[in-house]
Copies of this chain bind each other. A is one copy, B any other.
Amino acid sequence: MDQPVLPLGAPRGERADAVRNRLHLLTTAREMLAEQGADRLTMDGLAERAGLGKGTVFRRFGSRAGIFQALLDDDERAFQERVLSGPPPLGPGAAPLERLIAYGRARVGFLVAHREIARAALDGTQPVPAGPETPLSRMHIRMLLGQMGLGAADLDVLTVQLTAALDGPLLLYLSASDLTQAADQADERLAHGWQDLVQRVCRP
């Protein structure tokens, strides 16, 4: 089965100065994040430090949550490249069950490491997740399940179930009141939970 083409690339046909502004804003936002943490990153502060107008920042990101979403999208692209063409077992070359375990573990690690950004990108007005917000997870899980020969299972439904089973505990973790505590334990517990689940589901 071909690898899916995912809609996560940079917008096409962006003009050169718009591309430059975007990169400059994201780089500046990363500096501010590293120095001051997510809570202190505002639209006004970003515009001022980047030396650009507030209107430019607003048009680019729409809202404060939009800044964090853009940072997340940028890192998502790098994550996606590791999945599509990085070394196994996350990338191609390992058995499908190994890749499925590695994918969930890497996804948990990515989102726990990005917990501050991911949380700030969730401003509470998004529609329900578990939908097309996770195209990479869904398409990748579907592809790997298809390679496993799971007998009579309804692979499309199983794909949605497993995608939700991966995202659900992560969303619950990200919506918890205190994220700074016990990030390492959460990471390992969620990763282990994923491995246990898919081993149970996919055993012959």
Chain A residues near B (Cβ < 8 Å): 122, 124-131, 153-154, 157-158, 160-169, 171-172, 175, 189-190, 192-194, 196-197, 200-201, 203
Contact of A128 among B129, B165, B166, B201 (CB under 8 A): B129
Q: Which residues from B are CB-within-8-Å of A169?
A: 157, 160-161, 164
The answer to whether A153 and B201 touch across the interface, beta carbons within 8 angstroms, is: no
Q: Is A197 a contact partner of B161 (Cβ separation < 8 A)?
A: yes
Known: A157-B190, A169-B157. A164 touches B197 (CB 8 A): no
Are B160 and A130 in contact, with the CB atoms below 8 A?
no
- Would you call the interface of chain A mostly helix, strand, loop, or mixed? helix
- Which B residue sits closest to A125, measured CB to CB? B125
Complex: A161 Cα to B194 Cα, angstroms: 8
Select from chain B the residue with minimum beta-carbon distance to A126. B128
Q: Identify the 3 closest CB pairs spanning chains A and B, nearest first.
A: A164-B168, A157-B193, A161-B165
Q: Name which residue of chain B comes closest to A164, CB basis.
A: B168
A-B contact pairs, 6 of them (CB 8 A): A130-B172, A153-B200, A157-B169, A157-B190, A160-B168, A161-B197
Q: Bound state CA distance, A52 and B38, in angstroms?
A: 48
Contact B158 A197 (CB under 8 A): yes
> Which of B127, B165, B189, B194 is close to A124, meaning CB atoms less than 8 Å apart?
B127
